[in-house]
Amino acid sequence: MLLKGKYKKIAPASGAIIMANGIFLIGAVQAFPFLDKDVGVYLAFLLLLAWIFIYSRLSIQFVHRDFLIPFLKHPVNSFAIGTWIAGVSVLCNVFLKYFPEILPVTQAMGILNTFLFLFFLVNCFYNFKQLFFDHQNFPAHGVVLLSAVGTQSIIVLLNNVFFELPKIISSSIIMLGVFFYILGMVLIINRYIRQNGWTLVDDWTNTNCIIHGALSITGLAIVSSNTFTTLFAIILWIIIFILIVIVEVLEIIRAIKRIKVYGWKEGVFKYNVTQWSRNFTFGMFYAFTSVMQVNPYYPMPTWLDNFQHVFMPFWAWIVLLALLGQIVVYIRSRLITEELVQKRNLV
């Protein structure tokens, strides 16, 4: 039964916080032995606490009519459910690494997450239908690619937490995610072609980094399930690398322009929940590459293997520093919010 009444709202995309921090703990953290071996368990426990806090509020919010109905009907924002699914999938993999003794609990979460994914799947088809036929001029952005992210995260979850699925099932679900990715990219490209006078400053969104992030998790799903060929995985890795360079160069130019227009605080350091998507995409590329490197099913050519071994330590630092920077921005925003609330209470 849907409820009415007051409740403390939380951004629907808050699952991205779990995605971003969790993917670091199952990927780039291995480049920092102290964080991995000495404090990794404590960081994983903190992630669990954050998940409980965020998802309990999302659950309360989800059953309220004034949130649920408008949210599900929104042709773009409703794709944020993908962060809920990917967040749980990442958290389950963190549990598998740091708390293997609670495997039954992890598997139970995986089952529940799979049912949520089935609901999300129906929602994806409905909203793609809206965007292609009913709201063709709606300004789509990278959040629509969470359809692919959520889909591929289920493959990673099921293959790691349960057992290796038959290749025909894994490859079919992965191709469904690729189909969603293509649909999303068509909508994003169409948006910028149709929109006259758009600017990097105001119209290029944080979520557009999922353009490469959705492909990275596709790659992780492939190398986690041993589907597709080595050549396919290599070509995909190269495409992702090129997209990272293109998209992040645009992000740097955008940041410079925003600083000129809005200043440092408003232009770069003002918190938005969508900023976590960048941390997730950075971490996901590391995770995809590291799994591909150790999987004997995907032998790398010497030139690529040598390049990855030089590049990945550098990329690990990028992932770590970007995550620490985002955590600082988040904490600063929370402190400012609390200060404003206290001032209002004193008035």
pTM of the model: 0.93
Amino acid 137: pLDDT: 82
Q: Tens digit of pLDDT for each residue in 36-81?
A: 999 999 999 999 999 999 999 999 888 888 888 888 888 899 999 9
Q: Which two tokens stand for residue 304?
A: 């690529």
What confidence category does residue 164 fall into, taking pLDDT thresholds of 50, 70 and 90?
confident
What confidence category does residue 342 fall into, taking pLDDT thresholds of 50, 70 and 90?
low
**pLDDT higher than 90, residue 5:** no
Which of 197-201, 202-206, 212-216 holds the top average pLDDT?
212-216
What one-character-per-residue DSSP string does 267-330 give? Answer: HTSS--GGGHHHHHHHHHHHHHHHHHHH-TTSPPPHHHHHHHHHHHHHHHHHHHHHHHHHHHHH
Amino acid 242: pLDDT: 97
41 or 10, which is more confident? 41
**pLDDT higher than 60, residue 212:** yes
